[in-house]
Amino acid sequence: MKKRTGKPPVRDIELFQEAMVGVTPLAAHDRVVPARVRPAPVPHQRMRDEQEVLRESLGPRSAWEAGLETGEELLYLRPGLATQTLRELRRGHWVIQEVLDLHGLTVIQARSLLVEFLNECVRRRLRCVRVVHGKGLRSKNREPVLKNKVAQWLMRRDEVLAFCEAPRTEGGAGAVVVLLKAGSRIEDRG
């Protein structure tokens, strides 16, 4: 195989010159040949995403989403994570792999059981679990005792990425769905 040097072979030049004998060159012109104008890049996917978000925000909301404005729903998203993560968690993107029911337990019992449960979930590399804390209907003043405690305990755990109130069919205001780090191995800090 011949290596190319950038110049045509001498024989090719001679053949070209022979072929051009008697050819009249075109007259030079003083016109400017404009450069090809390329259109600006258009972020079509981003525009579609923004339109979808706008449609969702203006459209009718489900009862699930309407509950957000009461300020009583437990929601948490670890700083630095995309809000899309929480939205997907609320919409059931991850399958709930295990459930812990803390109904009727004291605060001390519930905390201990929650720590054991989370450690076991991490050991088993589970991603999504549900913790039922109850609605407090049988407690003094009919207020949930464990609801805010569970939220505080979950926020202190490094392996917890996000949590939100469970759908009504899975406990509603009496439970949270928790998203854990993928493949995390965190030591027990209680």
pLDDT, one tens digit per residue, over 79-89 is: 888 889 989 99
Which span out of 57-61, 164-168, 183-187 was modeled with the highest average pLDDT? 164-168
**Chain-centre distance for alpha carbon 8:** 57
CATH number of 103-183: 3.30.1370.110
pLDDT digit string (tens) for 136-163? 666 666 667 788 889 999 999 999 999 9
Q: In this structure, what are the phi and psi dihedrals at residue 52, rounded to the nearest 5 degrees? A: -65, -45
Digit-coded pLDDT (tens) for 8-65: 788 988 999 999 999 988 888 888 878 888 888 888 888 887 887 777 667 654 433 4
What are 103-140's pLDDT values in tens digits? 888 889 999 999 999 999 999 999 999 999 887 666 66
Question: With b meaning 16 or more CB within 10 Å and e meaning fewer, what string describes 164-175?
Answer: bbbbeeebebbb
Helix-then-strand count for the chain, H and E:
6, 5
